[in-house]
Amino acid sequence: MKIWLDDMCPAPEGFVWCRSVNEAKRLILCAIEPITLVDCDHDLGDYACDGGDGIKLLDWLAETRQFLPVRIHTMNPVGRENMERLLRRYWP
């Protein structure tokens, strides 16, 4: 399963669309099939009230030691750098 975390842009074919961090967490916790990719946006707009921006999902994955493959598709340069820094620091 591939997860697409984005509040506005619909998921590409083959992805499950999550609009909020908490929605993505629930999907990860209940996943029956292996998760092969988490593709994250940083800014989640109105959905940020449901778990924060995309970097909060990466924080949670690191805290729970779930080092899933991650790709970042945000257009926010500061958010991208912060997310990439987190991946460099914690992902093996």
13-58 pLDDT, tens per residue? 999 999 999 999 999 999 999 999 999 999 999 999 999 999 999 9
Mean predicted lDDT score pLDDT of the chain? 97
Contact between residue 83 and residue 55 where contact means Cβ atoms under 8 Å apart: yes
User: Average pLDDT of 62-75?
Assistant: 97
pTM: 0.96
Determine the pLDDT at residue 80: 98
User: What CATH number is given to the structural domain containing 31?
Assistant: 3.40.50.2300
Q: What domain range is 35 assigned to?
A: 2-90
Tally of domains within the chain: 1
- Give the residue among 10, 4, 45 at the shortest CA–CA distance from 27: 4
Sign of CA dihedral 76, 79, 83, 89: positive
